[in-house]
Amino acid sequence: MHATTILSVRRGGLVAIGGDGQVSLGQTIVKGDARKVRRLAGGRVIAGFAGATADAFTLIERLEGKLEQHPSNLTRAAVELAKDWRTDRYLRRLEAMMIVADEQTTLTLTGAGDVIEPARGIAAIGSGGDFARAAAIALHEETDLDAEAIVRRAMAIAASICVYTNDSLIIEKLGR
């Protein structure tokens, strides 16, 4: 996925998901302050998306429906969405990825049917995802920064390396 970076870090009872604001069409930046991280399920779940915006919004709407069916079980809702995404002829064509989190669980969802709980509580997607994840792992292991501070610093590092990532961040957090 090109054109964005989403990073999730879990530490000390807090989960933070941050996304940059850059929207690119080919090699042109068309917007710098898009909101790619949103609260769902009455604020109990955070979702960050990378990929085609309309596709991501379709998936977010579907996830919200699954969360209504399984209100206290993010994993079950995510698995049900992944099943639909993988088997439904229309959904199968959607080009997006998502990171979703509640107070207990963080998951990465893909169109290949993946529902992955990340190691170390750190997940990243998008064109700058590998840079952000590497920086977050180092900051998590080498500092006492909280989850939000790690997201801010790691996303700044990613933005300094990846041309599809900027430093206009939206960060949402859950927990104490």
Residue 2 is predicted with a pLDDT of 57
**pLDDT score for 55:** 84
Q: How confident is the model over 111-138, as pLDDT tens digits?
A: 788 999 998 999 999 999 999 999 999 9
pLDDT at 80 over 60: yes
* Average pLDDT across the chain, whole number: 92
Contact 163, 29 (CB under 8 A): no
User: Rounded to the nearest 10 degrees, how much is the dihedral formed by the CA atoms of 44, 21, 171, 127?
Assistant: 90
Q: Which of 4, 106, 108, 165 is catalytic?
A: 4
Instruction: Say whether 53 is catalytic.
Output: no
pTM of the full predicted structure? 0.94
Domain spans of the chain, in order of start:
5-119+134-175
- Match domain 5-119+134-175 to its CATH number in 3.40.50.12160, 3.60.20.10, 3.40.50.300, 3.40.50.970: 3.60.20.10
